[in-house]
A and B are shown apart, each in its own frame.
Chain A
Amino acid sequence: MSSMFKVIKEQIESFYLIRRLSLYELKSTNNNNYLGMMWELLNPGIQIAIYWFVFGYGIREGRDIDGVPFFQWMLAGIVVWFFINPSISQGSKSIYTRIRMISKMSFPMSVIPTYVIFSKLYPHMVLVVISTAILHFTGYPISIYFIQIPYFLFGTIALLLAISLITSTLSTIVRDVQQIVQAILRIMIYLLPILWVTFSLPEWVQSVMKVNPLFYLVEGYRHALLGQGWYIISDPYYTLYFWLIVFILFWIGSALHVKFRKHFIDFL
């Protein structure tokens, strides 16, 4: 428990650094491209187009989902995926790729995954704004439910931090963990209600899928962006479950991180 408070305290104390470092991070990943940071938006755009073509136009043959056209339905859910996916994959290799450079600095190591995640936050926010604009002009105007977005954004960041604390520590010690993380991420998009509809599945299969806390976030974003209702209170136990999972993961993550961080450099 004490290591959890320690990690939280470090995050708050270094918040200024997190913000500044995340900007340099964003810059250094995109410096090589002629289009620079445009790729942070172009990449999701290309993927959305192909997913719509395959799943919406091809497999669903243009049918809508409970009155919502497939494109809008998918867009509202996939937005958060473009934040989760790179954050987890970059976050889990954040420590072992940078430790040589920043092993002796005046900030705590728990900040490293945080600033990497924050560097993915800026393109995400731009993407949310663009998606909102698209939805606004294609029949889903901004509604009161939209104020759930900051809450779900906060929930996403909290979950991503908790996961990255665990995976960044483990992948520094055993490099294979990074491969496992990549493999899980690759299948994860199909285990979430992003590209296909899960209502038609048996009740118990849906419940199993809901064990995944990312399910909560995708559905939450969708409810907020499409104005489908108050997802936070419509299923209060699920909300409670989500935060319990975040708490447990954060607890494990900070305990692992604090236990091993002194020796990270020895594992290289």
Chain B
Amino acid sequence: MSKSVIVKNVTKKYKLYNKTSEKLLDILLPKSYGEDFYALRNISFEAEEGDIIGFVGVNGSGKSTLSNVIAGVVPQTGGTVDIKGNASLIAVSAGLNNQLTGRENIELKCLMLGFSKKEIRGLEPDIIEFAELDKFIDQPVKSYSSGMKSRLGFSISVHTDPDVLIIDEALSVGDKAFAEKCLDKMNEFKARGKTMFFISHSIGQMKQFCEKAIWLEFGQVRMSGDIKEVIPEYEKFLNEYKAMTNEEKKNFREKAMQQQSESTVTS
């Protein structure tokens, strides 16, 4: 099996500014203003074709940033991401135009992804069928419920046949029946040797679906490997975290913040 995604030493640095004037000075002057914040630091991993990798971690650990970097939405500050083929990100608010109808959104999105008019006409019925929108398809997207939006977003992304699929919490708004359907579709993708990344707080879904997992903490990889090894450790940590007093939780978060704003880390 060949490697489909190679992530090497990826770092993402954000700047935190206390005043808007600092932001302006930082752009204009060569001197650095504001505070550094490392959302990701030195992340390296490889994925093979057909791998399904889950990202776990508490809020703010860098899961969404990492998925955005892999999808190419957000540029990394350092390191490299090599992807064989094209990557598609599915998030809850996955780029739908609220003013246009569902059908127009399908056309628009496919157009932007480089499909021709004829190809779009071929894909359209399948997308509508899968999204289960029925007569809502000709209503503006702003009238959709969040479940409907994510169904449409998922359906479009899945049917445009990406080589690498990144699913960021997109299934958590759908009902169980739709989640099952998506899982079926994803299993079909898996059989065709596509790589998938799965981000969810639902450990149940994770266990059901992923084979490998990467546990992120403070923007770094805390543990990676087989799902059977990582998830129990992560659950253990979660229970410990839950058992902490508020004071301890606060200390934990402060430690995290401090670590993420230092330029070098010795841990």
Residues of A within 8 A of B112 (CB): 17, 21, 102, 105-107
Confirm or deny: B104 has a beta carbon within 8 angstroms of a beta carbon on chain A.
yes
B97 within 8 A of A: yes
- Is B111 a contact of A101 with CB atoms below 8 Å? no
Write the nearest CB–CB distance from B264 to chain A, whole angstroms. 22
| In the complex with contacts A20-B111, A102-B112, A31-B99 CB distance below 8 A | yes
- One of A182-190, A225-233, A259-267 contacting the partner: A259-267
Contact indicator per residue, chain A 27-47, by CB within 8 Å of chain B (1) or not (0): 111011000000000000000
Return chain A residues, CB-CB under 8 Å to B89.
Answer: 104
B75 touches A263 (CB 8 A): yes
Q: How far is the CB of A166 from chain B (nearest CB, A)?
A: 15
Point out the residues of chain B lying under 8 angstroms from A102, CB to CB. Answer: 95, 112
In chain A, positions 6-26 with a C-beta closer than 8 Å to chain B are: 17, 20-21, 24
A49 within 8 A of B: no
Which listed residue (B24, B27, B104, B113) contacts A27, Cβ 8 A? B104
Instruction: Using known A-B contacts A106-B112, A107-B114, determine if residue A28 contacts B75 with beta carbons closer than 8 Å.
Output: no
Which of B2-10, B66-74, B187-195 lies at the interface?
B66-74
Say whether, besides A24-B108, A102-B112, A105-B113, A29 and B73 are in contact (CB < 8 Å).
Answer: no
Contacts A29-B99, A107-B112 known; A24 to B75 CB distance under 8 Å? no
The docked-state distance in angstroms from the alpha carbon of A105 to that of B99 is: 20
A103 touches B73 (CB 8 A): yes
Report B48-92 residues with CB < 8 Å from chain A CB. Answer: 71-75, 86-89
Kindly state the separation between the CA atoms of A102 and B114 in the bound complex, as whole angstroms. Answer: 13
Interface string of B89-111 (1 = CB under 8 A from A): 10000011101100010011001
Contact bitstring A106-125, B, C-beta under 8 A = 1, else 0: 11000000000000000000
Find the B residue at minimum CB distance from A29.
B99
* Closest CB in chain A relative to B210 CB, distance in Å: 23
Q: Is B147 an interface residue (CB 8 A)?
A: no
Query: Any chain A CB within 8 A of the CB of B174?
Result: no
CB A248 to nearest CB in B, in angstroms, measures 22
Contact across chains for B140 and A174 when beta carbons are under 8 A apart: no
Closest A residue to B99 by CB, please name it.
Answer: A28
Q: Once the chains are docked, how many angstroms separate the CA of A101 from the CA of B113?
A: 12
Do A104 and B73 touch across chains, with their CB atoms under 8 A apart? yes
Return the CB mask of B112-135 against A: 1 if under 8 Å, else 0. 111000000000000000000000
Docked CA distance A29–B98 (Å): 11
How far does the alpha carbon of A103 sit from the alpha carbon of B71 in the complex, in Å? 10
Of A104, A106, A173, A174, which is in contact with the most chain B CB atoms at under 10 Å from its CB?
A104
Bound-state CA distance A265–B89 (Å) is 15
A265 and B74 form a contact (CB under 8 A)? yes
Instruction: Give the chain B neighbours of A60 by CB distance below 8 A.
Output: none
Chain B residues contacting A27 (CB-CB under 8 Å) are: 100, 104
Contacts of B27 in A (CB 8 A): 173-174
Given contacts A24-B104, A100-B95, A265-B74, contact A31 B140 (CB under 8 A): yes
Residues of A at under 8 Å CB distance from B? 17, 20-21, 24, 27-29, 31-32, 100-107, 173-174, 262-263, 265-266
Q: Which of B's residues lie within 8 Å of A, judged by CB?
A: 14, 24, 27, 71-75, 86-89, 95-97, 99-100, 104, 107-108, 111-114, 140
Given contacts A106-B86, A265-B75, list 5 more A-B pairs with CB under 8 A.
A21-B111, A100-B95, A104-B89, A106-B112, A173-B27
